[in-house]
Amino acid sequence: MSSSKLSKQIILAFNGPRLERILALAQYDYTKRYHGSHLGMIWALIKPIFQLTVYYFIFTGVFGASEDNYALLIFLGLITWMLFSESTNRSMTVLKSKAFLIKTIQVNPVDFFISNVLTAFVGFGLALAIYIVASLVMGVGYSWQVIYLPFLLLTIFILCLGVSLILAVLNIYFQDIEQLWSMVAMFGMWTSGVFGRSEVFIQAFPLLRYINPFLAIISNMRNILLYSSGPNWNDYAYTTIYAITILIVGLVLFDRNYFQALERL
């Protein structure tokens, strides 16, 4: 299968039975994740709230951060980064965990990665709902420019899918990629502006603007959902081009190495 055909199938994934299959896979993965747990899917809400509480008291109580709505600033940055981190971390085991389905039924393997990212978006959606309720209680207003949020989420989706495909390919040949990626992800979280404004990081390390696209992504999320302003369109253009480039690279690499992956399953 050529990369052009693979790209076409990505576009057609949102039509007809294939979309239903992808959504069913995402629903199954999400419910299976909490199967057997007494609290079930409530854990998807407990984890980000617990992390927010820990980080908030550390940065305000220990380091003396005093910015207005700092808890909301951290929470929004944290759930946005966790969306990317969760989807990419799980991507490295997608082929192995779905080996039986891949070998027994005719299905485009990319569908499993799309459903994996959608599963992460479900958890993000629940956390985002908590954020919106909390922000309204704390007096944050929303402008009409909130309509740009879906475009920003689409960019995040494309980036998550592209990185997921690349990691899946690397995991075929390098068994240590999970450990390596955990270190990359740690660096990414602490340099993405989760715990402060992106301008502070860019002023200190200008190259981070080009190394870590989440500096711009999280900044635009806050512009829309915290500061009642529109996105920075230069940042949006950069991150969108970055995400599309990563997706193309991921599709090409996955197309060229998929059969090697099947042989190892």
Tens digit of each residue's pLDDT (9 = 90 or more) over 40-63: 566 667 777 777 777 777 767 665
pLDDT at 143 over 50: yes
Q: Percent of the chain having pLDDT more than 70?
A: 74
246, two tokens: 């990563």
Query: Which domain range does residue 149 map to?
Result: 3-264
pLDDT at 214 over 90: yes
| Whether pTM exceeds 0.85 | no
Instruction: Return the pLDDT at 135.
Output: 87
In angstroms, rounded to a whole number, what is the distance separating the alpha carbons of residues 62 and 108?
50
Instruction: Return the pLDDT at 93.
Output: 82
- Reported as a single tens digit per residue, the pLDDT across 18-28 is 666 666 666 66
pLDDT at 237 over 80: yes
In angstroms, rounded to a whole number, what is the distance separating the alpha carbons of residues 223 and 227?
5
| Average pLDDT over all residues of the chain | 81
Q: Compute the average pLDDT of residues 98-116.
A: 76
**Half-sphere exposure in the Cβ direction for 76 (13 Å, CA):** 25
SS3 179: helix
Considering just the CA atoms, what is the radius of gyration of the chain in Å?
A: 19
For residue 201, how many other CB atoms are within 10 A of its CB?
A: 20
Domains held by the chain: number: 1
Q: Percent of the chain having pLDDT more than 90?
A: 32
Nearest Cα to Cα of residue 92 among 29, 178, 15, 219: 178
Instruction: Return the pLDDT at 226.
Output: 92
Instruction: Return the pLDDT at 195.
Output: 82
Instruction: Return the pLDDT at 1.
Output: 47
